[in-house]
Amino acid sequence: MSSEPYTVRWGILACGWIASVFSEDLLRDPATRNVHDVHHHIQAVASSTSVDKAKDFIAKVKAPSSTTAYGSYEELVADPNIDIIYVATPHSHHFQNCLLALNAGKNVLCEKPFTVNAPQLEILIKVAKEKGVFMMEAVWTRFFPLSREVRRLVAEGEIGDVKKVFAWLDLAQDPEEKYKDGKHRMVNPDLAGGALLDLGLYPLTWLFQTLYHPLPPSSQSSPKVTSSIVFHPPTGVDASNIVLLTFPSTGALGVASSGMHVSNDTSSLGLPCARILGTKGEITITHPAYCPTKFTVYKEGEEPVERVFPIPGAGMFWEADETARCLRDGKKECEVMPLAESLEVMRVMDSVRAQNGFRYPEEIESVEY
């Protein structure tokens, strides 16, 4: 086996904020996070509006001067020198952008949420399998060393059988003032805005990776969903939500909540964003839910054990590293974030919206492309 790291050539589809954070993380030296087996190279960047915007993006993130700039997504996915496409467009466009890349025979890493609804994701999974390519949802939180350790502790019974999980992410946005023109992606229904798809996926991630993911496949049955939504009247998207999941194979309960009005951005205070409750103890995750660096294990009769996991950068490189290893090893999906599990989470969010009469415009709910 070669001692040289496996290099992945990335194509970045879109030039917004999340694309820049991901790209800057790709360019960090892997050795700074003690990774030596994989390496990342930004091969090309595409804007849907102009080649100049792509060139500006390349300069902004300090990508190599050899990076190709494209003025259309079609040109990007046709580039034979790209190994995988990172889709970083708004939620509303994930389905069509992923489908474009898949039909071009490209591997795909797509920002969360994967699609607007489950039927769209079912189509993407079908096409990815037909094309024989890798595809994964970029739920970056799943790949943190902290998350891996929490999953290990849960799976090994450190706190006994997990019976309840509470997780929340509320970030006060002042949407009536900050987003009063209704065009921002957080409140714009045409961009699949609202708290659930943007913020709510993180609390659901904590529920799924502790109550669903550790189970054997035969026990991974779909949870029962009960929910409530409070709407943002100016645009009709959800401003706040609470989701109760009952997992039938274990009888465990999970409560996930997210919203745009209440703030729990209390990192400096060390307050929790999730509590994982077992028969022998509890694991508390310190805020923020999307990017935690600390958890504490509490057990009866024992001193609390605090674990700290620094993040040498933004933290998006860990999902990229795992993607690279999957490509190197010829895998078509990743065990950390399986396609079937992404689909289950999407079905939960579909159920929440259906229970509360919340549907996006037909053109972005559509499975036609």
Asked if residue 187 lies in contact with residue 235, where contact means CB atoms within 8 angstroms, the answer is yes
Asked if residue 339 lies in contact with residue 110, where contact means CB atoms within 8 angstroms, the answer is no
- CB count within 10 Å of CB 263 equals 12
Strand partners, 138: 111
User: Which residues make Cβ contacts (< 8 Å) with residue 138, sequence separation at least 6?
Assistant: 22, 86, 109, 110, 111, 112, 316, 319
Give percent of the chain above pLDDT 70. Answer: 98
Strand partners, 285: 274, 295
Average pLDDT over residues 326-343: 98
Asked if residue 222 lies in contact with residue 249, where contact means CB atoms within 8 angstroms, the answer is no
Token pair for 46: 């595409």
Token pair for 160: 């006994």
Rounded to an integer, what distance in angstroms lies between the CA atom of residue 115 and that of residue 127? 14
pLDDT digits (tens, 9 = 90+) for 108-135: 999 999 999 999 999 999 999 999 999 9
Rounded to an integer, what distance in angstroms lies between the CA atom of residue 304 and that of residue 159? 12
Give percent of the chain above pLDDT 90. Answer: 94
Rounded to an integer, what distance in angstroms lies between the CA atom of residue 93 and that of residue 120? 11
Average pLDDT over residues 18-36: 97
Rounded to an integer, what distance in angstroms lies between the CA atom of residue 174 and that of residue 179? 8
Does the pLDDT at position 1 exceed 60? no
Rounded to an integer, what distance in angstroms lies between the CA atom of residue 29 and that of residue 43? 16
Using the Cα atoms of residue 81, residue 84, residue 88 and residue 93 in order, give the sign of their dihedral: positive
- CB count within 10 Å of CB 1 equals 4
Does the pLDDT at position 2 exceed 90? no
Q: Give pLDDT, residue 269.
A: 72
Which region among 3-17, 154-168, 222-236, 268-282 has the lowest average model confidence (pLDDT)? 268-282
Q: Give pLDDT, residue 262.
A: 87
Is domain 145-310+346-364 in CATH 1.10.10.10, yes or no? Answer: no
Strand partners, 307: 295
Token pair for 135: 């595809």
User: Which residues make Cβ contacts (< 8 Å) with residue 86, sequence separation at least 6?
Assistant: 10, 11, 12, 13, 19, 22, 109, 110, 111, 138
pLDDT digits (tens, 9 = 90+) for 288-331: 999 999 999 999 999 999 999 999 999 999 999 999 999 999 99
Assigned CATH topology for domain 6-137+317-336: Rossmann fold (3.40.50)
Q: Give pLDDT, residue 87.
A: 98
Rounded to an integer, what distance in angstroms lies between the CA atom of residue 140 and that of residue 137? 9
Per DSSP, 223 falls in state P
Q: Is the whole model's pTM more than 0.85, yes or no?
A: yes
Which helix (H) or strand (E) segment holds residue 255: the answer is: strand 252-259
Average pLDDT over residues 73-91: 98
Residue 40 CB-half CA count within 13 A: 30
Q: What single string gives the DSSP state of each residue in 150-188? A: HHHHHHTTTTSSEEEEEEEEE----HHHHTTTS-STTT-
Does the pLDDT at position 266 exceed 90? no
Angle at 201 between CA 197 and CA 207, to 5 degrees: 150
Q: Give pLDDT, residue 3.
A: 76
270 band by pLDDT with thresholds 50, 70 and 90: confident
Does the pLDDT at position 5 exceed 70? yes
Which residue in the block uniquely carries the two structure tokens 């994701």? 121
267 band by pLDDT with thresholds 50, 70 and 90: low
Q: Give pLDDT, residue 264.
A: 67
Asked if residue 210 lies in contact with residue 276, where contact means CB atoms within 8 angstroms, the answer is yes
Q: Give pLDDT, residue 369.
A: 74
Does the pLDDT at position 50 exceed 60? yes
Rounded to an integer, what distance in angstroms lies between the CA atom of residue 302 and that of residue 334? 36
147 band by pLDDT with thresholds 50, 70 and 90: very high
Where in the chain are the domains? 6-137+317-336, 145-310+346-364
Using the Cα atoms of residue 129, residue 116, residue 334 and residue 99 in order, give the sign of their dihedral: positive
Which residue in the block uniquely carries the two structure tokens 């799943």? 142
Asked if residue 237 lies in contact with residue 359, where contact means CB atoms within 8 angstroms, the answer is no
User: Which residues make Cβ contacts (< 8 Å) with residue 362, sequence separation at least 6?
Assistant: none
